[in-house]
Amino acid sequence: MKRELLLGNQAIARGAWEAGVQFAAGYPGTPSTEILETLSRYPEVHSQWSANEKVAFEEGMGAAIGGLRTMITMKHVGLNVAADPFMVFPYAGTNAGFLLISADDPGMHSSQNEQDNRYLARMAKVPVIEPSDAQECKDFVRLALELSESFGTPVMMRTTTRLAHHKGLVSLGERREADPKPFERDPRRFAVPIYRRLLRPQVEARLERLQQHAETVSVNRIEPGGPKVGVVTSGISYQYVKEVLPEAGVLRLGMTYPLPANLLRDFCSRYELVYVVEEGEAFIEEFMRTLGITNLQGKERFGVIGEYSPGRLAGALGLEEVPQPLNGEIKIMPRPPMFCVGCGHRTVFSALRQLKVTVAGDIGCYTMGALPPYEASHTTFSMGASIGTAFGLERAGQERVVAIIGDSTFVHAGIPALIDAVYNGSHLTLVILDNSTTGMTGGQPHPASGKSLTGAEAPKLNLLAMCEAAGVRQVQLVDTWDRKGVMGALRTALAHPGPSVVIAQGQCQQLPEMKHRELVPFYVDEGLCTQCEACFKVWCPAILRNERNFPEIVPAQCTACTVCAQVCPTEAIYPFAREPLLRT
Amino acid sequence: MASTVSDGKVFNLLFAGVGGQGVLLGAEITALAAVSEGYDVKQTEVHGVSQRGGSVETHVRFGARVWSPVVTPGKADLVVGLEVLEALRFAHFASLREGLILVNQHEIIPGSVKNAEQDYPHGSVEFMRSRGYRVLPLEASRLARDLGDARMANVVMIGAASILLPLTHDAWLETLHRRIPERFRQSNLEAFAAGREAACDVEALRASRPERS
């Protein structure tokens, strides 16, 4: 059998393909993004980026009751956006298999909060499966879809960052098409809310059957060991347990909702002490306590915050002292992420800093505008929140409030907020950073970028017309690399009595068409440079200080964005090359 | 480090650097070379916002059977630092007795930290040695620049790592051939060879021993 080193997320995509998934949708979000990116390479599956997670989920419901095996992907907070259909769908239940991938991010590597979505699944009465390695990421997709079809329920697979973003060897199989399951009109089931009362008891009955299933399902398995200590674990934590406590008896739960009461009671009765090792909240542990099991230790020992690791387990168990970072005579300064070379967001934050306005930020690379050197973004909450927050701050007496949002985030959840702000009489200024992509997650297309997930041309949402249609009278388009133009547009917008929008246009430098293009890099002419330091204040990572204390631009990194040349008072920075450089 | 894997031994490697330096590629080539030698392999990756010029770490573990993809501090056989401050940040992952920290003598000042230029820690190599770590500094960025592109420093560093790991030269070369696009292949193979040669320098290895040993 062929084995390949695959990322957990790539393995999920492979699993979906092998399991005959026909429809897949989602919205990019770390750590879930690579699933659909990988799946889009398989022509048998319709894969797409949707405008947001709620829309993706609803499209998935339609596809699944219409008979297509379906997989929907999102990061943990995405499920908050999709919670509305998620809570309702289990009443009607599904026809063809429906799998939701929820990627949690303990440790908040790339997120605004920690959130254990097993609680949301429990609230929705949806079964949860948790793979423990890349191979299981692949295998559990088929398992979940079969579970979904045999119980008529949507199923959630919960992953966490290390599972989604670790690579392991995976045995590959072939695709098996699923049997067709055509849509049947059934108003009692799908259409008339009053009948949901009749469906309500069925949801409970299904949960009971699922709980019975969890008692015997193969992925909930006991690995004997001991004699005194047993461990109940799920997800990637299973690997850490095997690493740190190789001799212990283990109950590995591959299905964590509903939980198998008898299996848990039986396992715990074999040991003096049982550790519960699960990333996130005390989800399994709390259930065990409701069963009256008392010989257990979980969060009180291992903690609830952040990621788990073998080192953390070993430390918590007092098995060894894990070395800490070397601080002492030398202090290790942090290195937070920063805007890329040539990033179009720089000019906007530089102007906002100068204008000293209050700025409500949003979710994307531009959250980094809150960090030094700009410190020009003052709130970040959730997708699309910039506009509503700015409106509230304005009501609370803040003068000259600016909301700042990326193009993808604007499409995701900003549009209703803008309509609302205009409707309720706001005079805020909205800056849309239009870089034609979803930048922070690595450059995914969206409805305003004119491309689809597969790279094909797609209808392009007109952002300017969209804002005008919302009732904004003053909408300005500006080249984001034109410093004076950006400042001028912001001043004009802030002087406007009603709501205003500035669309700062400029493609993300990480897009392939920007990375692989011919350009002439810029160069500092030391004969003209007065070492005034103005170009260093652009904070471009390609501008370094050389041994003569002059600025020097790394040619291989320069994107010819021209911003440093614009700030140079002596015109000492200009394009220089014998021939245009083909960027690689 | 031994040149063969004794039974049960799992090799623990950590690659650290700044987003954009090719930390992930270096780790991936190492992981693939280990796969081609028949080992069980696991690797962590970093995605999302951290890649934007931030601190990046990637773990690679290989052996007969690997459970956790994550390396425990104090257990790494090799820490490969593509930048000095990042090598220092993850130095404590190295095993004090048997581990080695390979450091590219290249400094990148953090762009989004106040007074970073004044406060950037110099003398990190001596500091790590004073704490008992074996450190081998290499001029990987300079070697890569001399070969035409400073961005190949990651491949110079894995060239150096290659003589310290129980993987055959052929496995490395075959993996580089497979993984590096044709138009960059020759220069990267040269970068790899340069790193190998630099780490073979016995004098440098001797100097890598900690002061107090």
How far is the alpha carbon of B71 from chain A, nearest alpha carbon, in Å?
8
Any bridge partners for residue A415, and if so which?
none
* CB-CB under 8 Å, B52 with A339: yes
* CB-CB under 8 Å, B49 with A30: yes
- CB of A538 within 8 Å of a chain B CB? The answer is no
Rounding to the nearest 10 degrees, give the CA dihedral for residues A406, A411, A412, A414.
70
- CB of B76 within 8 Å of a chain A CB? The answer is no
How far is the alpha carbon of A3 from chain B, nearest alpha carbon, in Å?
10
Q: Identify all chain B residues contacting A30, using CB atoms and an 8 Å cutoff.
A: 47-49
Q: Within B131-201, where are the H helices?
A: 140-146, 153-162, 169-179, 182-200
Spatial contact of B198 and B122, defined as CB atoms under 8 Å apart: no
- CB of A317 within 8 Å of a chain B CB? The answer is no
Sign of the CA dihedral running A10, A15, A18, A24: negative
- Residue written as tokens 């992907």? A73
Query: Rounded to whole angstroms, how far apart are CA atoms A153 and A146?
Result: 10
Global confidence as pTM: 0.95
Q: State the best of B42, B49, B211 to mutate against chain A, taking most chain A CBs within 10 Å.
A: B49
Closest of B27, B92, B15, B25 to residue B55, by C-alpha: B15
- Please tell me which of the candidates A31, A333, A368 has its beta carbon nearest to residue B47: A31
- Please tell me which of the candidates A243, A340, A365 has its beta carbon nearest to residue B68: A243
Confidence at residue A578, expressed as pLDDT on a 0 to 100 scale:
53
- Residue written as tokens 């290989």? B62
Confidence at residue A366, expressed as pLDDT on a 0 to 100 scale:
95
Any bridge partners for residue A3, and if so which?
A171
Confidence at residue A577, expressed as pLDDT on a 0 to 100 scale:
66
How far is the alpha carbon of B125 from chain A, nearest alpha carbon, in Å?
11
Strand A128-129 relative to strand A255-257, pairing: antiparallel
Cβ contacts of A583 within 8 Å, gap of 6 or more: A515, A516, A517, A518, A519
Q: How much is the CA Rg of chain A, to the nearest whole Å?
A: 27
- Please tell me which of the candidates B45, B112, B119 has its beta carbon nearest to residue A371: B112
* Secondary structure (DSSP) of A143-193: HHHHHHHHHT--EEEEEEHHHHTEEEEEE-----PPPP------IIIII-G
Apex A142 CA angle, A136 and A143, nearest 5: 75
CATH of domain A516-582: 3.30.70.20
pLDDT tens by residue, chain B, 213 residues: 443 455 679 999 999 999 889 999 999 999 999 999 999 999 998 876 666 788 999 999 999 999 999 999 999 999 999 999 999 999 999 999 789 999 999 999 887 788 888 899 999 999 999 999 999 999 999 999 999 998 999 999 999 999 999 999 999 999 999 999 999 999 999 999 999 999 887 556 656 665 543
Check residue B64 and report its DSSP letter: S
* CB-CB under 8 Å, A373 with B55: no
- CB of B44 within 8 Å of a chain A CB? The answer is yes
Q: Which CATH superfamily is domain A345-513 in?
A: Thiamin diphosphate (ThDP)-binding fold, Pyr/PP domains (3.40.50.970)
Query: Rounded to whole angstroms, how far apart are CA atoms A70 and A558?
Result: 44
Closest of A305, A336, A381 to residue A108, by C-alpha: A305
| B18-to-A213, A399, B24 alpha-carbon distances in Å | 48, 39, 10
Its CATH architecture, for the domain B11-207, is 3-Layer(aba) Sandwich (3.40)
- CB of A333 within 8 Å of a chain B CB? The answer is yes
Query: Rounded to whole angstroms, how far apart are CA atoms A126 and A390?
Result: 36
Domain ranges for chain A, please list them: 3-216, 220-316, 345-513, 516-582
Query: Rounded to whole angstroms, how far apart are CA atoms A214 and A209?
Result: 9
How far is the alpha carbon of A43 from chain B, nearest alpha carbon, in Å?
24
Q: Identify all chain B residues contacting A541, using CB atoms and an 8 Å cutoff.
A: 20, 53, 108, 111
- CB of A137 within 8 Å of a chain B CB? The answer is no
Q: Identify all chain A residues contacting B45, using CB atoms and an 8 Å cutoff.
A: 7, 165-167
Spatial contact of B16 and B81, defined as CB atoms under 8 Å apart: yes
Q: How many CB atoms lie within 10 A of CB A109?
A: 17
Q: A-B interface: how many C-beta pairs under 8 angstroms?
A: 182
Domains A220-316 and A345-513 share a fold: yes
Query: Rounded to whole angstroms, how far apart are CA atoms A356 and A370?
Result: 13
460-519 of A, contacting B, C-beta below 8 A: none
- CB of B38 within 8 Å of a chain A CB? The answer is no
Closest of A430, A435, A385 to residue A404, by C-alpha: A430
Q: Identify all chain A residues contacting B67, using CB atoms and an 8 Å cutoff.
A: 239-240, 242-243
pLDDT tens by residue, chain A, 584 residues: 799 999 999 999 999 999 999 999 999 999 999 999 999 999 999 999 999 999 999 999 999 999 999 999 999 999 999 999 999 999 999 999 999 999 999 999 889 999 999 999 999 999 999 999 999 999 999 999 999 999 999 999 999 999 999 999 999 999 999 988 999 999 888 888 888 888 999 999 999 999 999 999 999 999 999 789 999 999 999 999 999 999 999 999 999 999 999 999 999 999 999 999 999 999 999 999 999 999 999 999 999 999 999 999 999 999 999 999 998 888 899 998 889 999 999 999 999 999 999 999 999 999 999 998 999 999 999 999 999 999 999 999 988 899 999 999 999 999 999 999 999 999 999 999 999 999 999 999 999 999 999 999 999 999 999 999 999 999 999 999 999 999 999 999 999 999 999 999 999 999 999 999 999 999 999 999 999 999 999 999 899 999 999 999 988 889 999 999 999 999 999 998 655 555 54
Domain ranges for chain B, please list them: 11-207
* CB-CB under 8 Å, A337 with B52: yes
Between helix A83-92 and helix A53-65 the angle, nearest 10°, is: 20
| B10-to-A153, A358, A472, B42, B66 alpha-carbon distances in Å | 42, 53, 62, 11, 7
**Candidates 3.40.50.620, 3.40.50.1820, 3.40.50.1950, 3.40.50.970; correct CATH number of A3-216?**
3.40.50.970
Span between the terminal Cα atoms of chain B, in Å? 17
- CB of A224 within 8 Å of a chain B CB? The answer is no
- CB of A446 within 8 Å of a chain B CB? The answer is no
**Candidates 3.40.50.360, 3.20.20.70, 3.90.1170.50, 3.40.50.920; correct CATH number of A220-316?**
3.40.50.920
Confidence at residue A26, expressed as pLDDT on a 0 to 100 scale:
98
- Please tell me which of the candidates A33, A323, A325 has its beta carbon nearest to residue B89: A325
